[in-house]
Amino acid sequence: MSHPVLVVGSVALDSVETPFGRADDALGGSGTYFSASASHHTRVQLVGVVGSDYPVDQLQVLASRGVDLAGVERAEGESFRWRGRYRHDLNTAETLETRLGVFSHFRPKIPAQFRRAKYVFLGNIDPRLQLDVLDQVEKPALVGCDTMNFWIESRRPDLLALLKRVDLITLNDAEARQLTEEANLVKAARWILAHGPRTVIIKKGEHGAFMFHADRVFFAPAYPLESVFDPTGAGDSFAGGFMGYLAQTDDLSEANMRRAVVMGSVMGSFVVEGFSVKRLLEITPNDIAARMAEFHRLVTFDATVA
Amino acid sequence: MSHPVLVVGSVALDSVETPFGRADDALGGSGTYFSASASHHTRVQLVGVVGSDYPVDQLQVLASRGVDLAGVERAEGESFRWRGRYRHDLNTAETLETRLGVFSHFRPKIPAQFRRAKYVFLGNIDPRLQLDVLDQVEKPALVGCDTMNFWIESRRPDLLALLKRVDLITLNDAEARQLTEEANLVKAARWILAHGPRTVIIKKGEHGAFMFHADRVFFAPAYPLESVFDPTGAGDSFAGGFMGYLAQTDDLSEANMRRAVVMGSVMGSFVVEGFSVKRLLEITPNDIAARMAEFHRLVTFDATVA
């Protein structure tokens, strides 16, 4: 049976410059990307905050896709704004400006009707707030979280407390190394698994993603795209595809979690083809199924040697 | 029917320092690594040169594994020596010293009994010499070549002439970008395919390898090893596993070439577990089959979505 997925994350306005163009004050933020991606798979309950200047009518595209915005609070003040630039190789975002605005005082309040969510994703916010969210939800079947270098450095004890309460964490390779002080990703994953989550997903951007459980490892490449337009939101769209697919299928078997990782990679491969959430609003179920099949063709081989 | 593979490459003495130890004047060179790796799959015909100081008795371990050393010339003078160091992350070799010795005057002479080789690999040497080798062999079924930044810069016209005469090239991502002036690897691969080879393999080290044909792409990850001891020779061992497997099976179908790429990754994953060719001399057919199966488990998923 299909379930909704609850996500807590930022709802921001991004201004992005790439070698191929620029976008100003476009829909952005981890909660937004996650929701747009997950909405292809199931209903989404988004919790976040926007400022009084936010073009909330633009969020209607999410609502029309089944994203329940009842948890998106509007606060007096400026919205969270991020301004960044990508150079020729598109690998690293250069942050030109971050203005937290109303996000700096954000205290997530989970609406009563969201509190029984079976699938919960704690986007990349202060681990203290992520813990706060967990105190407000009832017995979810799967809790995933994301984090970043800033929290690993400034909120380590809270982050370690959070790890004990989540089932799954997604983080990128640099963050995994920073958190664990292990250069080797297998060792890093083992360290994290020993500190709480039963599943660790280490994202390597254009180099794909690993999923580690106790004694199993799965790898999905990133799709080799000919034109990457704007890498912003790839990780959040990955998480949205992954969690959205799990919530849709309500199946936590190894086989289905592998498919969910590929679904995350599929959604990440679409979002980078355009600015902001543009591509996520255009693609159809057929596009998704076709790319899933392409991922399969990309890695499939018969191991029966001569 | 199994065929031998002919390889032309360097036979060197490597001194390597890693965070885990050091080795001095150990067997090294692209021809040596290739041969040790390919010898697990088929007979190897090695063409190269060593100096009068080379411990040729140490090459007997290759001979005993079916590597025909009739093409390894002994010249008056010093052997090719490379001295390098890997830092903590093991990703980049820092070259401390390169002494070409007799290699600087190397002119490959293919022994008469090697000239009808059906499978030929031109290791990373001057493209003029690679072309020279092609003039000495009769109608091979598959010619592969490797190259490096130095030749891309200093011998571009010769390298472009070579591309027109090979079936396949293996190069790393940085070399592919340098050769094609395309940052995007899909575009880089397309550029190379338009300049001669019908197959391009782009190696990304710990991030795996792509194989591109006209309209197909295959990706094999590198195996997520917990302990990488010494990355030297991974690329040459990949090439040896790939070409050795193709020569053994004599099957250039898409399915078999995919398996050959994984076999290359398997052999690359072994060689980095020890200094020099040590691990390649220890492993058994069972070890290889087991790791092939692990690669399969690593990437396998069922694309049938709910």
pLDDT in tens, chain B (306 residues): 899 999 999 999 999 999 888 999 999 999 999 999 999 999 999 999 999 999 999 999 999 999 999 999 999 999 999 999 998 777 778 899 999 999 999 999 999 999 999 999 999 999 999 999 999 999 999 999 999 999 999 999 999 999 999 999 999 999 999 999 998 999 999 999 999 999 999 999 999 999 999 889 999 999 999 988 899 999 999 999 999 999 999 999 999 999 999 999 999 999 999 999 999 999 999 999 999 999 999 999 998 876
Q: CB B208 to CB A221 under 8 A?
A: yes
Between CA A226 and CA B157 the distance in angstroms is 27
Write down the pLDDT at residue A306.
60
Residues in a beta bridge with A71: A47
Between CA B98 and CA B70 the distance in angstroms is 26
Between CA B14 and CA B16 the distance in angstroms is 6
Write down the pLDDT at residue B88.
75
Q: CB A224 to CB B210 under 8 A?
A: yes
The helix or strand, by DSSP H or E, that contains position B88, with its residue range, turns out to be none
Q: CB B184 to CB A228 under 8 A?
A: yes
Least confident of A112-116, A294-298, B227-231: B227-231
Write down the pLDDT at residue A238.
98
- Homologous superfamily in CATH for domain B5-299: Ribokinase (3.40.1190.20)
Q: Which residues of B touch A183 (CB under 8 A)?
A: 88-90
Tokens coding B98: 């390169």
Write down the pLDDT at residue B19.
87
Of A89, A185, A228, which has the smallest distance from its Cβ to B224's Cβ?
A: A185
Write down the pLDDT at residue A292.
97
Which of the two residues, B249 and A227, has the higher pLDDT score?
Answer: B249
Counting residues of chain A whose pLDDT is more than 70, the rounded percentage is 99
What number of other Cβ atoms are within 10 A of residue A283's Cβ? 18
The confidence band for A49, taking pLDDT boundaries of 50, 70 and 90, is very high
Chain B interface, best mutation among A204, A219, A246, A286, by max B CB count within 10 A: A219
Average pLDDT over residues A191-195: 98
Write down the pLDDT at residue B91.
73
How many Cβ pairs within 8 Å bridge chains A and B?
111
User: Å from B204 to nearest chain A CA?
Assistant: 9
Q: What SS3 class is residue B51?
A: coil
Contact A30, A9 (CB under 8 A): yes
Backbone torsion region of residue A228, taken as left when φ is above 0, otherwise alpha when ψ lies between -120 and 50, otherwise beta: beta
Between CA B120 and CA B136 the distance in angstroms is 11
User: Å from B20 to nearest chain A CA?
Assistant: 14
pLDDT at residue A124 greater than cutoff 80 = yes
Q: What is the 3-state secondary structure (H, E, C) of chain A?
A: CCCCEEEECCCEEEEEEECCEEEEEEEECHHHHHHHHHCCCCCEEEEEEECCCCCHHHHHHHHCCCEEEEEEEECCCCCCEEEEEECCCCCCEEEEEEECHHHHHCCCCCCHHHCCCCEEEECCCCHHHHHHHHHHCCCCCEEEEECCHHHHHHCHHHHHHHHCCCCEEEEEHHHHHHHHCCCCHHHHHHHHHCCCCCEEEEECHHHCEEEECCCCEEEECCCCCCCCCCCCCHHHHHHHHHHHHHHHHCCCCHHHHHHHHHHHHHHHHHHCCCCCCHHHHHCCHHHHHHHHHHHHHHHCCCCCCC
CA–chain centroid gap for B292, Å, is: 19
Phi, psi of B124 (to 5 degrees): -75, 85
Of A184, A187, A306, which has the smallest distance from its Cβ to B249's Cβ?
A: A306
- Please name the amino acid found at residue B75: A
Please give the C-alpha separations between residue B83 and each of B33, B35, B77, B234, in angstroms, as whole numbers. Answer: 16, 21, 18, 16
Domain-wise residue ranges, chain A = 5-299
Write down the pLDDT at residue B293.
96
State pTM to two decimals. 0.95
| Beta pairing class for A168-172 and A142-146 | parallel
Between CA A32 and CA A240 the distance in angstroms is 10
Q: CB B306 to CB A89 under 8 A?
A: no
Q: Which residues of B touch A88 (CB under 8 A)?
A: 183
Write down the pLDDT at residue A19.
87
Closest CA to B231 of B258, B195, B199, B205: B205
CB within 8 Å of B274: residues ≥ 6 apart: B229, B230, B282
Of A187, A207, A295, which has the smallest distance from its Cβ to B204's Cβ?
A: A207
Closest B-chain CA to A202: B224
Describe chain B by its helix, strand, coil percentages, rounded to 5. Answer: 40, 25, 35
Most confident of A15-19, A249-253, A301-305, B226-230: A249-253
Name residue, tokens 């790429």. Answer: B261
Average pLDDT over residues A57-85: 96
Average pLDDT over residues A109-126: 97
Q: CB B224 to CB A219 under 8 A?
A: yes
Which of the two residues, B153 and A93, has the higher pLDDT score?
Answer: B153
Chain B interface, best mutation among A40, A228, A305, by max B CB count within 10 A: A305
Write down the pLDDT at residue B306.
60
Between CA A205 and CA A201 the distance in angstroms is 12
B30-38 helix and B254-271 helix, angle to the nearest 10 degrees: 120
Name residue, tokens 């990128």. Answer: A172
Residues in a beta bridge with B120: B6, B143
Supply the DSSP symbol for B78. P
Of B90, B190, B301, which has the smallest distance from its Cβ to A262's Cβ?
A: B301
Q: Which residues of A touch B255 (CB under 8 A)?
A: 301-302
User: Å from B136 to nearest chain A CA?
Assistant: 31
Of A225, A248, A305, which has the smallest distance from its Cβ to B259's Cβ?
A: A305
| Beta pairing class for B217-220 and A12-18 | unpaired
Q: CB B306 to CB A248 under 8 A?
A: yes
Q: Which residues of B touch A228 (CB under 8 A)?
A: 184
Average pLDDT over residues A126-140: 96
